[in-house]
Structure 1
């Protein structure tokens, strides 16, 4: 097990709570944004959580991975559905590396001297 999410998540929530005590408006704003995304409308909860999990991987957020993997499981996602969503995240990261590699090579070509 790379990260024990059962141990990690409560510690993370405690740390976020302390941040909220120090900066309540920040946490209130985040809660409003998160709540608006969670309400949804067209996408069901499972689909939203699969997207969130894939985004969590692309943004390299361990806390997001812990929270959204649990939420995806609770919403009924299967291991195969999670794996497929993660395959999309992997492909997107590779695509981003391809685009930024092209930009880097272009920048290199702009250098003089």
Structure 2
């Protein structure tokens, strides 16, 4: 893993730049017919898991990067809603987090991490 907050912030910045470039060069890469629904969900889920790891390392250090992460168009519902809820807890807006998680839980398949987090913050 990376050492030091500066390395995490630098890597996150490069990752966002890479995602931005992917979006402009292949705007529907995750939505193309080359990917099955399962593969698309897997890619999105992996990206959301990575973003959550960044949350742990960048909170209080690179808030601007975290805000860009939770609005990046490469994430799709419901993972996007989930990481937005996690960010809302970090920024001290638990009511928003609960509302987002209630919305997130209406989307199938009801990922167990979503359910656990919703219970943790009292959204369920």
| Both structures adopt the same fold (TM-score exceeding 0.5) | no
Larger Rg computed on CA atoms? 1
Greater relative CO (CA pairs within 8 A, separation 6+): 1
Higher helix share: 1
TM score, norm. by length of structure 1: 0.29
